[in-house]
Structure 1
């Protein structure tokens, strides 16, 4: 499936806040993956509603790919300063 690409302009504070939120989502799904694999939680995080550890891993990886893409764009733009 092809998805439309957007260019969004945020100041550095707002961008940092957005990344923090996405990082927390990724961590929550990593913790959920651990819960489904080993039957125990790593922290006080909630366990996300997924069918199994593999689904949680896939969702966490997707969030991590988003983070990596945003960080790469930040680094690229910072080189121009």
Structure 2
């Protein structure tokens, strides 16, 4: 028995664009084939697709349109989302409030899990930190589905913590733990 189960992919924006272009080219070829059958195509140099009639050609063209629309619909929220806003070091004498992804470090307790060039990855909003967490989880589940990660390795152990960023790049968290 054949099932029509969904597949999950992760593509760069460039590869996504190439995929849409390829699907659009196939849709256009089938649309032109349907037009040819109806006597509507005026193009001199055209390679007809192999099918029985205009209805079959149009059904295939319509199916390509459905695939393209599905992909565009799924990509739209990701396209609209801006990169996570990171906090920069505040001016001397000031602090900035943000959020970090933390994990439990054996024997040390909770600690920031991400570092960037000049210190810790501190997100400007809680939502930005949660989006980064969600991206990590999506990647882990995709790796599991591809057989690249075991089930017990899916949970990253990450969690979001409100922090205060100091001018020297150090943090203090909600438990008043100071992290240099």
Structure 2: runs of 5+ lacking an equivalent: 83-180
Structure with greater proportional helix content: 1
Normalising by structure 2, we get a TM-score of 0.42
Q: Which runs of 4+ in 1 moved over 6 A?
A: none
Aligned to 2:62: 61
Aligned to 2:28: 27
Normalising by structure 1, we get a TM-score of 0.88
Aligned to 1:4: 5
Rate the CA distance shift 1:8–1:36 in 2: closer, same or farther, 3 A: same
Query: Looking at both structures, which has the greater relative contact order when contacts are Cα pairs under 8 Å and sequence separation is at least 6?
Result: 1
The aligned length equals: 81
Structure with greater proportional strand content: 2
Aligned to 1:75: 76
Aligned to 2:45: 44
Structure 1: runs of 5+ lacking an equivalent: none
Query: What secondary structure sits across from 1:46 in the alignment?
Result: coil
Alpha-carbon distance between aligned partners in 2 of 1:4 and 1:43, rounded to the nearest angstrom: 41
Superposition RMSD in Å = 1.8
